[in-house]
A = this chain, B = another copy of it.
Amino acid sequence: MLRENVSGAVIRRMPKYFRYLDELHQNGVAKISSRALAECMGLTASQIRQDFNCFGGFGQQGYGYNVETLMNEIASIIGVNRKHKAIIIGVGNIGRALIHNFDFYKCGFNLIAAFDADRALCGANIGGIQVHHIDELEKFYDKTPIEVAIMTLPKAPAPQMAERLAGMGVRGIWNFTNMDLKMTNKSVMVEDVHFADSLMTLCYRISE
């Protein structure tokens, strides 16, 4: 796996490749050409071959790509086979929705605990996930270090919480606060889910 100088644009396409290959595999498709994959994904064959060759040559001239092999390669490139430990901070509506509906495991994560500032919720078990008080965060981390924190808490405490998590040593933050977190430690990766930006983009596009 080469994995150097891979552009953000390519990285953002990898999950989509994984998604389509997973589906093809489940449908019993054994091989696919860049051309056919391009057709069904709405990309160009050229782009697909360029993208894959950022990480190595997974195909075979004259044949195409073996769907299962390629899917596994991409899974391993993304790292979804590694099952990183994650916790969720804030069990309001969005937090609960994620706990109940979202397939963390398929995305390479193992959700192991939830935290909230509301003492009334502590000790509760939501969808199989134990809720702890936020004060116990560091104690928990010392026993069980986690790689990623999911921030589904209100805006106000968010910046401070992000720094606290970074200080503890988390590697990444999945950010649902709809605000940009300015991390002092740039090695902590932040992935934003900006609902408002997304909906406003739609607003623009339907306004012609």
Chain A interface residues (CB < 8 Å from chain B): 11-12, 14-16, 18-19, 42, 77-80, 82, 84, 92-94, 96-98, 100-104, 106-109, 147-148, 171-172, 174, 180, 189, 191, 193-207
Nearest chain B CB to A40 CB, angstrom units = 9
Bound together, the chains give a CA A93 to CA B102 distance in angstroms of 10
Point out the residues of chain B lying under 8 angstroms from A107, CB to CB: 196, 199-200, 203
CB atoms of B197 and A15 under 8 A apart:
yes
Q: Is the interface of A mostly helix, strand, loop or mixed?
A: helix
Minimum CB distance partner of A104 in chain B: B199
CB-CB under 8 A for A97 and B103, given A148-B206, A191-B205: no
CB atoms of A93 and B84 under 8 A apart:
no
CB-CB under 8 A for A207 and B82, given A196-B103, A201-B12: yes
Point out the residues of chain B lying under 8 angstroms from A202, CB to CB: 148, 172, 174, 189, 191
Point out the residues of chain B lying under 8 angstroms from A98, CB to CB: 195
Which of B97, B148, B195, B199 touches A96 (beta carbons < 8 Å)? B97
Bound together, the chains give a CA A12 to CA B194 distance in angstroms of 11
Q: Which of A11, A94, A202 lies at the interface centre, i.e. has the most chain B CB atoms within 10 A of its CB?
A: A202
